[in-house]
Amino acid sequence: MTLSHTALELADGYRRGELSPVDAAEEVLTAIDRVDGEINAFCHVDRDATLTAARSSEERYHRGEPLSPLDGVPTTIKDIFYTRGVPTLRGSRLLADKPGASDPASWPDDAPVTSAVGEAGCVVIGKTTTPEFAWKGVTDNTLTGITRNPHDPGLTPGGSSGGAAAAVAAGLGQLALGTDGGGSVRIPAAFCGIVALKPTYGVIPMFPSSPFGTLAHAGPMTRTVADTAAFMDTLLRPDPRDWSAVPARATTPGPGGYLAAAVDGSRGDRPLEGLRVAYSPDLGFGTTDPEVEREVGRAVAVLESLGARVETVDPGITDPVDAFHVLWFAGLAAVLAPHGPGAVDHVDPSMREALGRYHDYSAADYLDAVAVRMALGARMADFHQAHDILITPTTPIAAFAAGSDVPPGWHSPDWTSWTPYTYPFNMTQQPALSVPCGTTDAGLPVGLQVVGARFEDRLVVRVGAALEAALGQVVPTPRVHAAERPGDGRP
């Protein structure tokens, strides 16, 4: 059975002739039928298209001509990215109810990342769920319902790439594409116990442009840092449709690429010798659950044993949430504008309520928010003159009840109120990686966030790989997992 293999293990088995892309695809498809009803990670699966792609991959391996190091690996795509011939409904009835929405001919374009996945020969299994227009940090919508956490289906997987994270954690595909506008790959990675990278803005091209502007990034989500690195190498393809993307020549990752950085991080006894690490348990303004802080603190101590020079220090910033809300909700209003003045009456009720709280921003308000963002970016750039890496918890809490935007009894209705350590780094466009670092007393995953200066993505990957290698497997197999043997609940 291939469901518990990593992406790189699968590809190695293909090259050796020991594993089959067709068998791997069939196992995932069968597993989706068996377990996705418990977690609702998928909104679209096309068995015929998946098996056709898998057979093509297998033929390439038989000829000794794989398209990439990840050819044939089962992959999912968040239902935000355009995918040729497949509806991209973004969790919204506003799109699903349009005439022709289900017609493959209505969807003629691939997003840059979708094209990259196809050109690499990855086998697309399906599209994963998202909250409506990816607007919040949990995953539910009125179109596809509530997506649930494989570790406990009563809990949320986080969001907005919650379907992607739940699929990876549950063994339903090794690679997933997500988006991150305020933490949307990192939050669900932390809640589901997987790895996710928000690269520096512009490193991975985006098209069409996000309504959330330059807050929005595309990012890989996988089970290991090495898989994330290998997927990054696959996604680094220029696309002229994104005028804001960084030219490929400026991001050429050097010999071996991101995967080489991951390998370097897991090699030797002290792979981080001399690295200057700042550890901030709360960024100077948050409140972190003691169990989360305990697990992150233990992992930080491990970084010291790997040679890093760790200093507990805050970056000297204040919470930029008010500015983030201006940028975020102005973008969300722009999403709804083409659907007419009554559109807000037909969206996620919590979105409607949030837009009631945050609306009617002026151009001056927007420019003031941009000024806050620029000052924050300048402060973090200065901070990284003295510190190579910043470590924080990914989220200050573990997963909470599914179907709610915030934990029960929470002091605020805003999703941003419980994830203050993610959205600042969308505003600054820095690379940020979430890596599992332990569990709460209840056995729920805890994520550690590795933040680097802009364009220091490979350093972030190297640190994550070193930590992962030193910690080993710190998160148990989820309760809902495709590779469980019937009857005993064990992998």
pLDDT value for 246: 86
- Indicate which residue of 57, 78, 127, 210 is catalytic: 78
Q: Are 331 and 211 in contact (CB under 8 A)?
A: yes
**d(C-alpha 235, C-alpha 114), whole Å:** 9
Taking the CB of residue 243, how many other CB atoms lie within 10 A of it?
8
Q: Which of 371, 292, 331, 425 is nearest to 136 (CA)?
A: 331
pLDDT over threshold 60, residue 446: yes
Q: What size, in residues, is the chain?
A: 491
Indicate the pLDDT class of residue 238, thresholds 50, 70 and 90.
Answer: confident
Domain, as residue range, for 220: 7-480
Told to judge if 210 belongs to the known catalytic residues of this protein, a careful annotator would answer no
Indicate whether 156 belongs to any domain: yes
In a domain, 489, yes or no: no
Per the domain annotation, does 342 fall within a domain?
yes
Q: How far is CA 63 from CA 7, 19, 67, 73, in A?
A: 21, 15, 11, 17
* Catalytic residue chosen out of the listed positions 115, 160, 210, 280: 160
Q: How far apart are CA 266 and CA 268, in angstroms?
A: 7
Residue 2 in any domain: the answer is no
346 lies in some domain = yes
In 3D space, the residue among 262, 278, 273 whose CA is nearest the CA of residue 457 turns out to be 262
Please report, rounded to a whole number, the percentage of residues in the chain having pLDDT higher than 90. 93
Q: What CATH number should be reported for the domain holding residue 31?
A: 3.90.1300.10
Q: Which among 57, 92, 115, 184 is annotated as catalytic?
A: 184
Handedness of CA 472, 477, 478, 481 (dihedral sign): positive
Beta strand segments in 291-431, E: 309-312, 389-393
Q: Is 11 among the domain residues?
A: yes
pLDDT digits (tens, 9 = 90+) for 139-174: 999 999 999 999 999 999 999 999 999 999 999 999
- In DSSP notation, 91-122 reads T-HHHHTSTTTT-GGG-----HHHHHHHHTT-
pTM over 0.85: yes
Q: Is 56 a catalytic residue?
A: no
Tokens 């005439």 belong to 99
Task: For residue 1, tell me if it sits in a domain.
Answer: no
- pLDDT tens-digit map of 46-89: 999 999 999 999 999 999 999 999 999 999 999 999 999 999 99
To the query of whether residue 160 is one of the catalytic residues in this protein, the response is yes
- State the total domains in the chain: 1
460 is a domain residue: yes
Q: What is the pLDDT of residues 452-472, one digit of tens each?
A: 999 999 999 999 999 999 999
The pLDDT assigned to 483 comes to 87
